[in-house]
Structure formats: C-alpha cells, structure tokens
Amino acid sequence: MTSISSASPGLAGNDPSNRLFGPLPDVSADAGYVEEHPARVGFFTDTSVCIGCKACEVACKEWNTLPMDDSHGVRDAMGMSGMSYDNTGMLGANSWRHVAFVEQTRTVDLPMPTFGRPGDDRQGSGPSPMTPGDGVSLADAQQSSVLNAEALSEFDPQTGQSGADKQIRWLMSSDVCKHCTHAGCLDVCPTGALFRTEFGTVVVQGDICNGCGYCVPACPYGVIDQRKDDGRVFKCTMCYDRLTDGLQPACATACPTQSIQFGDLDELQARADARLATLKGQGVETARLYGRDENDGVGGAGAFFLLLDEPEVYGLPPDPVVTTRDVPAMWKAAAQGAALIIGVAVSAVLGSRKR
Amino acid sequence: MPGLGASFGRGGATNFLEDLSNADCIVIEGSNMAECHPVGFQWVMEAKARGAKIIHIDPRFTRTSAVADLHVPLRIGTDIAFLGGLIRYVLDNDLYFRDYVVAYTNAAALVGEDFVDVEDLDGLFSGYDAENRMYDEDSWAYEPANPPESSADDPAEAAEQEQLDDAPAVRESDQAQAAGSGGPPIPSKPKRDETLQHPRSVFQVLKRHFARYTPEMVSEVCGIEPAVFEQVAKWVTSNSGRERTTAWVYSVGWTQHSVGAQYIRTASILQTLLGNIGRPGGGILALRGHASIQGSTDVPTLFNLLPGYLPMPHAMQHSTLDEYCADAAGKAGFWGNKRDYMVSLLKAWFGDAAQPENDFGFDWLPKINGDHSSYRTIADMIEGKVSGYFLVGENPTVGHPNGRMNRFGLANLDWLVVRDLQMIESATFWKEGPELETGEMSPDTIGTEVFFMPAATHVEKDGTFTQTQRLLQWRHKAVEPPNDARSDLWFFFHLGRILRERLKDSTDPRDQALLRMTWDYPLHGETRDPDADAVLREINGTGPDGQPLSSYMQMKDDGSTSGGCWIYTGVYADGVNQAARRKPGSEQGTVASEWGWAWPLNRRMLYNRASADPDGKPWSERKKYVWWDEAAGEWTGVDVPDFEKNKRPDYVPPEGARAQDALAGDDPFVMQGDGKAWLYAPAGLVDGPLPTHYEPVESVVENAFYGTQASPTVERIDGPWNRENPSRSEVFPFQVTTYRLTEHHTAGAMSRTLPYLSELQPEFFVEVSPELAALRGLTHNDYATLVSARSAIEAKVLVTERVRPIKLRDGRVVHQIGMPYHWSYGGLSTGDSANDLLGIALDANTHIQEDKVSTADIVPGRRPRGPELLEFVEAYRRRAGVASGRVGVNGRDPVEASAGEGSTQ
C-alpha cells in the first residue's frame, strides 16, 4: 500500500516511481502484491450503445443489497427528479451505478422547401377550444437540456434525426466509480478501510471504516459518499466478492447491449481504441475516450468510458486530478517551512547563547 | 394474430430475434423495442454494429429512437397510411422482388367479379351489413380455378353451414383467431394470371387500392415530411431483394388499435412484395409483451380457441365432430389434417373414455355461443350475467382500459379468485378503489367475495415459457415458494381434483367432461405439486406404442395417437425434454437449434422454403439459408426446413390430392390453402381483404382518404361507464397514447411493489411537448389533470422535446400526449391510473382494445377530489354532447344500464 513517510522520495518533491501521480504499469504490485497476482481488471462503458435500461443499477443494488435511494439523496423518500428519465440523480452511498439521461435538440435548416415546422406558431390554429396558456416559462422545462451544436453532427449515428426539421439526441451513460490508478480516497484513508485489491480495484471495508469522511472530498469525481444514518462510506467494489469467485460484476452481467464491458484492463483498452476508430471512421467526430489516458490526472482509470460529447455534458469533471497529487510538493513546502522555522529558532537560540 | 395468420398461415413472428443481426435494415414501428424488449434488442445493436440501418417510426422519440439512425415521428394511428405509401412507392417504381412475388404470393390470383373496393364505396368494401356493422366476406373470394362442384356430399347441409357461418352469434365468436396456425380456409385454389396483367388479378387490385397513398397524402395524414418518407423508402427498398433483406419489428403499438390486425396486414403486404419473408434478416417480428404471451395463445387462455389454434366448437354450428371438421375436409395445406389434431387432443384430454363410438368425447367439450371476450364479459358482469371470475396473473382494474368500468364489473360478481404475487388492486378495489372516495362504490353493498391465492413466481416452479419467437424454454424450480404460495399447476390440478371428488357420483351429463378427463399427474413434495414434465409429455402426445410422438404428421384421427397441442408435438421427441436444452450459442451455429425448442418442429424461421428460389437454389449466396440438395433428395440448410423434407421443388400435386399433398414443390406457405403468401386476403379478416386507412375511434382529425371516418366494424361496448369521446371534438382536443417504461412492468404488480424499480420511476407522469406546455400553461415537474368522457386523472408533467406536435399540411397542429400506464394506488410508487382515462373500443378481428390512441383534454393543476370529480367529468361530457356517465351504486343503476345497452352510437 502506498505509504508516506519522511523517507519517501516524495518528500523531495518528485515521485520517480509514480506512486502518487503519472502512469503506473502494475498498480497491484505497487500496492504490495509482489507475488503472482491477477491482471488488473476494469470496466469499459461504451455509451454509444447504452439504451438506458438501468439494468446495471438494479443488478448492482440486488447483488450488493443496497437500500433505496432517490434523486435527492434521501433514503426511502421517492420523487420524480424532472431530469429526463434519471431519478437516481448521482452516484452515492446507495447508488453505485447511475445512468445519466441527457436530452439535446437542434433545429435543422432544411435544404429543401417544406410546409412548416411544428412549433413555429405556438398559438396554433389547431383544434384547441381554449385560449392558449399565459406563456409559462419554458426555462424550467428545458433546464435539463444541453445544447451542443458541435456534437450534433449530421452523420452522427447516435443522433436520431426526428423528422426532417429537428435533430434530437438522447445521451445515456452508466457512471460508476473509476477505480483510479491513483485513488485519492485510498491515499487519505487513515484506517486502512479502503484498500487496493489484487485485481487492482479499490474497495472499502465496511467493518473497518470509522466514518471519518476524509475520502469524500478526496475523490475528484464525487463518487464515494457517506450514508447519512450510518456515517460510513460506500461505493462500487467492482463486485470484489464476485471476482474472487470467478464471476463478472453484476452490472456487466446484466447489461443487455454490452455497453458495460468487464475484463482485463489492457484488453478493454485495446477494444475501446478499436471502437473509437470505428466511430471516427463513421464520422462521429465527437466520440472520445474518457479515463483511458494513463497520463491524465489520476494516472488513468480502471473504469473508463466512450463518450459522445464533452464530459461535462454527462456530469463528469473534464480534467480530474487526484487530490493527493500535490502531497509531495506540499510536504516539501511544509518541510521547507519547518526547516525555516527550525532555522530561525536555532539561530535565535544560538544568537541568545552568543549574547 | 390474424394479421400474420391471414397473410402467411401462422399467427407468429416469422423470424427469430437472433436473426435480426443478419438484417441490412431494421424498421421498428409500433414498438419501443429498446425499452420494452431490452434483452432482445441486443440483436438490433448487433445488426447496427455490422452496418445495418435502424429506423424507428414512432410518435415519440424513445430510448429506441436514441440509438436508431432515423426517427420518424408520425401522428398516432396513421401507420396504414404510412405503410400504404411505401407499398405504392414499391409498386410504382417497380421495386418489388418480381420472381418472388410471382412464385410465392397470390399476386397472380384472380379476385371474383363481385368484389368492390373501398375506392368505389367511399371507404367500405362490398358486402357491408350496416345494421349489424359486419361484412359478409363472400364477395371477397377468389375466382375458382375449377368451376364449383358440389363440394360437400350433401349440398343442403353445405348451404345450411354457409348460412350459419354468417349468423351474427357465430361471427361474433370470431373464427378469425383460428388463423394462429393454419391460414383461413378457402373454398378452392384460384384461377391465376402469371403475367399479373389481368385487371382482377390481386396485383392489379393492389395497385388500384394503394394508388391514393401518395407521398403527399402520407405527409398530410401522418405529418411526415416527404423528404423523410423518401429516405425511409430508399433505405428499405435498397436493402431488399436477392442480396439484401429488411426486417420489420412491431409489438402492441400496432395490435392495440381498432384496425390493429390491418396494420400488421399492411406490413405483411409490403414485406411480401419486397421478398423479405422466410429469408434471413427479413421477416416480421411480432414482439410479445410478456414472458409467455405467445404460449398463452398457443395453449390458449382465449375464449374462442382450443390448443394449437383449433377453433372452439360453436353451439350452433358444431353438434358433431364431423361438422366441426367439415371445413377442412378435402382442403389443401396442413389445415386439411384438422381431424387428426382434434381427435388427438380429445384423446389427450379424455384418454380411454374417448372412443370412435362417442365421437371421441366431442360432446363433452363446452361450445361457445357468442362473444365472451374479456371486455364483453366485464360489461356482462355489470349487467349481472356473470357470477364468478378467476384472475390469474392479470390486474384488470389497472391494466385494462377504463379501470372504473372494470372495477364496476368485479363489484357485481358473487365470487372472485385472484391469484397473484402481490395483493393487487383487482383484489382490493372493494375496500380501496378510487370509487369509494367519489361515492360510486361502497364496501357494504358489494357482494363479491374475493379469494386471494398467493402464487409462486417463475423461479419457484418448473415449466416452460413460450416467448416471442415461439421458442419453448424450460425453467427449473430454484427454490420452494414461500408460505401459501403455490404454482398455477398446483392450483388448477387440485381444484379439478376436489371438484371431481365432489361430483364423483353425479350422472348429470354436464358433469361428464370433468369426470371423464384424465387427471392423474404424478405429485411431488409436501405440497403435492403436479409434475410439470408429465404435463409437457401429455402436450407433446404419444403414439400407439405409448412413446412420445416426434412430429404432428404422425397424428391419426382413429384414436391411436394423442397430443394436447399439435403444434407442440416434438417438444418431447425421443423421450427428451427438448425445451430444456441449453447448448451455448458459442458451441453451435447462429440459428442455435439446440437451445430450447421452437414450434413447429423446431423450425426457427418460418416459411424458410422461400429463402430458395422456385428451383430450390438460394436466391443469393449472401442470403443462403435452406435449399434443395438434389443428390440427397432432400431440403437442407442451417435451420430445420419448414417444408416436407423430401418434396421436390418441381413437385406438382396430382388431381384430387388433399392436405399437404395438394401443395406444390414451390408453395412455401404450407399452412395456407393455396400455399401462397396473401397480398390480398379473400378470407380470415372481418374488416376487409385489404388494409385501409381509417382514423382511430377517437381522433381530432377528419379521415382524408374516405368519407368513412373510423373502421366500420369497430366493436363498441356502450354504457354510462364507457362513454366515447366524439371525434374532432373541441372539448377533447389532444391525442393521447399509452405505453410502458423499462423500469416498470405492465399493470405494475411486479414493479411498483419493489423498491429498486419503484425508485427508478417513482411517480405517474405524462410527457408533453414544450408547445403544448405553453398552450395549456403546464409546468414541468408539476401536476396536470387529464380529462376524458370516462374520468379525470392527475399526473406529473415531463415537458420534453422528444414529444412533438404534428403539423398537418393545412396548418393545423395535432398535439400528442404520452402516458405510461403502470400506476395505481397500491405499492411503493403510486399515482392515478392512466387506464382510467381510456374507453373501450375494439378491433373486431381480435377484440383487442384501442388503447394506443384516444383523445383527452389537459389542464394545469391537480384534479378535483370526491364527488366533485364526478361533476367535473360530467360537465365535460355535457359540453362535448356525450350522454351522462352517472351511475348508481357499484355502477349498476338499473335504469341507466339497460338504457345504455340498447343505445349504440
């Protein structure tokens, strides 16, 4: 396990073995699994084939016997969120998978003449018996709709052209803990409740967690969360118990369209690169991989994604950085400060002795 | 499904789900496949990954549209106009697969001189009886190849039979349903003109019939821009033919219309013209909404069918087995063996008691005497004609349209048995139903005694599912059911056992059927659960040696064979439970013939003889599937041939041949009397031989095609509890459609009660466009009230651009409201019930309700409570000119009810 001590090379302000930042080829070995250990595993979530069925959410809750949750993070209270078909809202202590639903629309300028677009005249000469409504603000209604004209490219196979005049895109994406190469939550955990498994994943041990909550702000994605009535933290374990029995995680097993793929991380990365190339070849210029790059702020993620728009559109941070990246620099600064103080003190003492 | 049955001979999906991956283009229309069939949808995604075009045609932009290449928003209830436009496009531009059409369809058949099309009668076909609102189909017949001989031995008897066929009481019990497996009987093979030029050839009739369905007309009626229509037409036609195939997928988005069977007929005509039936990656995939809905029509829960789509005998027509089988005698096709199937069924049910001397016990069978379909029965309940009712896995007070009427029905029974996993609303309506609050119902006056019997779930019992593609899959009991929960098999076996014990000394003739039945399944365990495997064996049937039959072709009409459902014969071939086979797909071919067992005879793709040309060679290497192996003298390929294995492609039936021997070597539609796919249906449908666009019963638009606004044969059930919204009414100005969400299951008993599913869609909501929200002042995520002539309900509003208004050519805007129907007052996730808003109007072919399209008004805010709700709705009725909907207590006001029955709109 990563440990920080005054003997750490990090104290010098750099991290030559990339234990806190940067690419790390064998994350399990780094965590102390020096003997034979399984290959690092992960999730590749291809959102271009997600149909938003939420089977992953349900399978996860079933397997891990999680309590109900709702979009407002209150247990056993239910209500419609109004955010398209998403009533889960976000990842949390009781929702380890979360399917985001993003509605996007764009009016198309037609090259050919037509007889008008619906909605041109809101008054409508339709068969309405009553006076039209008093122009209620549509801002509320459309607050969840994100318009990204760049993303709505004409040949994007993920863009349903709805009629000739309008392009609609309904993005769906199943989010999950990223099982980072450099996991902030794990770095800050004082009890050892969070640990790196032999599969390279990051797991909380509920019987050790003391509810200090340090890990919550340490996660750059806002994944790990405390249960309000309990105090302890919970998050995706990548079904550690299933992995040790040779099974796939529940969500990947339940996914009907192979949007969630589980496997050895290097194989998944190769598959994702090929899929991206295919989509690019089909003209989907906006397709991108997220969490694939081992040079990113978390050293690459164990759970990474193929997205069809900017990460922000899905509620993902555009440039996540492990919160402990700067620990060495911080220690260095602290050490310099301490040295300065000690120096001042020493010189003061020496000075007084001289007197 | 008479739409498919009348077209091809069997009422089931022609292809199988995995085969979708072979398609070059997939059109999903009348189905929200990704949301309602997410597991099967993987094959659509597979096809897409291989480069297929995916088109979704639907009023709403759904999760299916989200991954389609093209979403075509059309006005609800206009699919015939749209598909008719495609048919015209195909015919006008000579894009049909000519070799296929000439050889395998009835395009060359001549229609009799008496037939008059809707073009000449302003929306009616010849033979319309306005008084009974029914057609006499006689004028739709083919011109016979041979002049009619006296076909029956006794002409007088034949004439009498003919007369009986036309009696309303017989017609109401719809023999059309029998087209589930075996096309409708036709008198004889037709005269043909292979050049397709004869003015009365089906091909020319078709051309004239669809001449009116121009792109402009499609645009006007459906609200689809001509450019979009053109795009669909191009993708579909360029992906059909020798080298390529297009698949069509539908589900209840088509069947639940007043002209639902004709929707399916229109698609059948189009797919037949394009040569897409019986070929890999083609076909029409009818998706079934539940795990074993196909099974529930194969071994039916329907009032008018016996197992294997044998029609239920009718009291006026069928007093003997001979009369029952008369229509099949001497007929071509497998329909000609009806007597073999029926006698084997009687032997399975009555065993040694069924002997030639007693007509194999035919007299013991109950006979029907009219319409006893589900909704008619509810009306009969209110009128006091029904004393008891079993509800097994059905929640009609939520799942049926017009929940209020359904509750009134159940409140007027003597007893009600509810078997379900949960305490559903149909079991608690008498103490918790919404009519208690309005004062229309009160527990102290309801005489219905309700027995709730907890049921075992699918993991708590053995048995089979028969799913969408006719595939029987055996499931094993994983755990014992808890407490008093028992399997359906347990319930019905022991109910029968107890009844038989009570009646064992009876000499009353009506009790004999019960007493003579074989009722001797092995029982297992503490609960004495009957052995499901033994039931499957009985369904499969046995031969004279007592061994399981391997094919229905072994069945005899002499009583030496038995079989509980002839189309399932073979599921226990070789004494092995074939449905329990679980060979992984990776260890066998794509057809996966060794996973489960599909009827008939494990054929995964129906009519697959059509995948080869008339000479028996594959149409193309790319679409090779089943072909004739001259050296071996048999049909071969990747699937079980849906054809007699050794019948040569050049076989010509000799004079006087009957049953399958009367079909030629190039007649792939073996269940049809003429061996052909029917572009024109001379029989089998009660509302016309060709599909015609009619507006829905409740429409805001005038029929642009004909003066006949709605289907002339639509079935109505009138009463104060089932008022109809007038068409084109300003009081009910918006169209409404209902549907399901992935997160919930049908009437909600299996999802609203579960925390993990309830929280995913926690409240009843309706989806409206921003334009309608502005028009009516609706606020996103706030309440709105919807009103119809039936009731008023409230729902949260989800404003979304995925629902869009349709602008018609004349500038009028049709607003459409989307409404999932899962909710009611019970469970964790609660809300008003969408079905309370809907009325009951039925497709006369199927008695299926038109709940995919209706009209309503929508206003902001919550609905009135208590008796005020009644006045609120009554005021709407008054404004719309609809008769009063006021009823006495429990819906049974003697004055109102009898007045309601007599009056028709």
Contacts with A258 from chain B: Cβ below 8 Å: 42, 45
> Coil, helix or strand for B814?
strand
Neighbours of A277 (CB within 10 A): 11
**Among the partner residues B56, B759, B778, nearest to A70 by beta-carbon distance:** B759
**Among the partner residues A125, A134, A143, nearest to B812 by beta-carbon distance:** A125
DSSP B816: E
Please tell me the number of Cα atoms within 13 Å of A222 on its side-chain side: 8
In whole angstroms, what is the distance from residue B257 CA to residue B849 CA? 6
In whole angstroms, what is the distance from residue A186 CA to residue A194 CA? 5
H and E: helices and strands count for chain A: 8, 11
Q: What is the pLDDT of residues A182-208, one digit of tens each?
A: 999 999 999 999 999 999 999 999 999
- Tallying the residues shown for chain B, one arrives at 905
Contacts with A55 from chain B: Cβ below 8 Å: 38
**Among the partner residues A67, A116, A126, nearest to B814 by beta-carbon distance:** A126
Report strand pairing: A233-234 vs A225-226.
antiparallel
Q: What are phi and psi of B709, to 5 degrees?
A: -70, -60
Mutation target for A interface from B28, B750, B759: give the one with most A CBs within 10 A: B759
> Residue B429: enclosing H or E segment and its boundaries?
helix B425-432
**Among the partner residues B48, B796, B807, nearest to A117 by beta-carbon distance:** B807
Q: Which of A96, A103, A95 is nearest to A70 (CA)?
A: A95
Q: Do B776 and A133 touch (CB under 8 A)?
A: yes
Contacts with A124 from chain B: Cβ below 8 Å: 771, 775, 805, 812-813, 815
- Tallying the residues shown for chain A, one arrives at 355
Q: Do B66 and A112 touch (CB under 8 A)?
A: no
Residue A16 pLDDT: 58
Residue B770 pLDDT: 95
For residue A98, give the chain B residue with the closest CA. B760
Residue A250: partners with Cβ closer than 8 Å, 6 or more residues away: A56, A59, A60, A62, A63, A64, A239, A242
In whole angstroms, what is the distance from residue B10 CA to residue B12 CA? 6
Q: What are phi and psi of B543, to 5 degrees?
A: -95, -175
In whole angstroms, what is the distance from residue B498 CA to residue B520 CA? 13
Q: Do A140 and B781 touch (CB under 8 A)?
A: yes
Buried b (16+ CB within 10 A) or exposed e, A307-333: bbbbbebbbbeeebebbbbebbeebbe
CA distances to B270, B405, B653, B696, B817 from B76, rounded to whole Å, are 20, 25, 47, 9, 10
Residue B150 pLDDT: 44
Q: Do A168 and B780 touch (CB under 8 A)?
A: no
Mutation target for B interface from A58, A60, A112, A136: give the one with most B CBs within 10 A: A136
Beta bridge partners of A86: A83
Q: Do A82 and B762 touch (CB under 8 A)?
A: no
Is residue A294 within 8 Å of A21, Cβ to Cβ?
Answer: no
Neighbours of A80 (CB within 10 A): 20
Contacts with A69 from chain B: Cβ below 8 Å: 759
Contacts with A161 from chain B: Cβ below 8 Å: 69-71
Contacts with A94 from chain B: Cβ below 8 Å: none
Rounded to 5°, the CA angle B766-B768-B769 comes to 165
Q: Do A163 and B73 touch (CB under 8 A)?
A: yes
Give the pLDDT means over successive 10-residue stretches in chain B (905 positions). 86 92 97 94 95 95 94 95 98 97 96 95 95 93 74 44 53 51 70 95 97 94 91 97 97 94 97 98 91 87 90 91 83 78 97 96 93 93 95 95 97 97 97 96 95 96 93 96 96 97 94 95 95 97 96 95 96 96 90 94 96 97 97 96 95 86 93 92 93 97 95 94 96 97 94 93 96 97 97 97 87 94 94 97 92 97 97 98 93 54 37
Residue A352 pLDDT: 74
Contacts with A117 from chain B: Cβ below 8 Å: 807
Is residue A301 within 8 Å of A166, Cβ to Cβ?
Answer: no
Q: Which of B784, B738, B744 is nearest to B762 (CA)?
A: B744
Contacts with B728 from chain A: Cβ below 8 Å: 127
In whole angstroms, what is the distance from residue B33 CA to residue B850 CA? 20
Beta bridge partners of B529: B524
Q: Do A127 and B780 touch (CB under 8 A)?
A: no
Residue A123: partners with Cβ closer than 8 Å, 6 or more residues away: A132, B775
H and E: helices and strands count for chain B: 28, 30
Domains parsed from chain B with CATH numbers: 1-146+180-289+669-686 (3.40.228.10), 374-461+481-514 (3.40.50.740), 715-902 (2.40.40.20)
**Among the partner residues B61, B731, B780, nearest to A82 by beta-carbon distance:** B780
Which amino acid is present at A261? Q
Radius of gyration of chain B (CA): 27
Residue A113 pLDDT: 34
Q: Which of A166, A141, A172, A163 is nearest to A152 (CA)?
A: A166
**Among the partner residues A68, A85, A124, nearest to B755 by beta-carbon distance:** A68
Contacts with A145 from chain B: Cβ below 8 Å: 801
Tally A–B CB contacts below 8 A.
Answer: 227
Q: What are phi and psi of B628, to 5 degrees?
A: -90, 125
Q: Do A158 and B35 touch (CB under 8 A)?
A: no
Q: How far is A208 from chain B (nearest CA, A)?
A: 27
Beta bridge partners of A194: A204
Q: How far is A163 from chain B (nearest CA, A)?
A: 5
The ranges of chain A with pLDDT < 50 are 1-14, 71, 75, 110-159
Q: How far is A7 from chain B (nearest CA, A)?
A: 49
Residue B689 pLDDT: 96
**Among the partner residues B63, B805, B829, nearest to A118 by beta-carbon distance:** B805
Residue B328 pLDDT: 74
Which amino acid is present at B613? D
> Coil, helix or strand for B434?
helix
pTM value?
Answer: 0.90
**Among the partner residues A62, A78, A257, nearest to B42 by beta-carbon distance:** A257
For residue A105, give the chain B residue with the closest CA. B801
Contacts with A88 from chain B: Cβ below 8 Å: 759-760
Phi-psi region of B350 (alpha: psi -120 to 50; beta: other; left: phi over 0): alpha
Is residue B845 within 8 Å of B7, Cβ to Cβ?
Answer: no
For residue B828, give the chain A residue with the closest CA. A78
Q: How far is B58 from chain A (nearest CA, A)?
A: 10
**Among the partner residues A49, A119, A172, nearest to B45 by beta-carbon distance:** A49
